[in-house]
Amino acid sequence: MKQIKIIITGASGRMGKNNISCVLEHPAALLAGAIDIRQSAGFGCDAGAYAGLKPCGIKITADLDELLPVCDAIIDFSTPSSSVELLKKASTAGKNCVIGTTGFSQEQENFIRETAGNIAVVKASNFSCGITLLLSLVNKAASALDDSFNIEIIEKHHNRKKDAPSGTALSLAKAAALARGLDLEQEMCTGRSGSNTERTKNEIGVLALRGGNIIGEHSVFFISDEEVIELKHSALSRRVFSAGALNAALFLQNKTSGFFTMNDVLGV
């Protein structure tokens, strides 16, 4: 199989470094570039060395335009505004994208889907195989259990995470709401305070905890008067997300357009 040439954005960040190492260590992938802003800690450094591997000869740069012609795909874990700007350039250049950024507005989500008419895009709030399976299990459980089972979601992340609830928690809530035919915007509760916070019949609670260096934990509870069912996933290393993102990039080979999720990548 021909090696896929990949650009990593957000190269100086925790996910960026893991993404770089995954690409460098995979026989079917080739690091075509590493992108980050000039103010980033890794700017100008050798991408391999910065990721904790031997030097690879690729410097972390801010010049995406120069690298686009030599790549096949881009793996992007950055910020919503940066991802949108990246997609504009990638669409013009005809380069496929894997988007792991979370916290998009609805307008930005719509733009991503529109862009997928020109290039192939895999977008996921979480690239782990376990979370992809958990989403399916939550959907099945919410469908099988009647509304006497209340649904509550708790997500835990490190104290530097910017968005809350996490994109993965929102995806889990959407999976449950879809199974029960509910409008998530109307039924989701992200906080309870005061003397009049009795739970409504179809409410889906989503609670975010932030502390320390927790990589990511998600628990979905189905609670009746007689029993509690808990479906849980814990990430032990960020590398699980990087491996999934690389698999997504490999999945996009020979695809010219379309919007895909990890369900498509894993065939579930």
Q: List the catalytic residues.
A: 157, 161
**Number of Cβ within a 10 Å radius of residue 200:** 11
Three-class SS state of 259: strand
CA distances to 108, 112, 121, 230, 245 from 257, in Å: 18, 12, 7, 38, 18
Torsion-angle region of 94 (φ positive above 0: left; ψ -120 to 50: alpha; else: beta): left
CA distances to 21, 70, 195 from 49, in Å: 10, 22, 55
Distance CA 87, CA 128 (A): 23
Residues shown for the chain = 268
Q: Residue 160 class from Cβ within 10 Å (0-12 exposed, 13-18 middle, 19+ buried)?
A: exposed
Q: Which two tokens stand for residue 132?
A: 């992809």
Cis before 165? omega within 30: yes
Q: Which two tokens stand for residue 59?
A: 């410097």
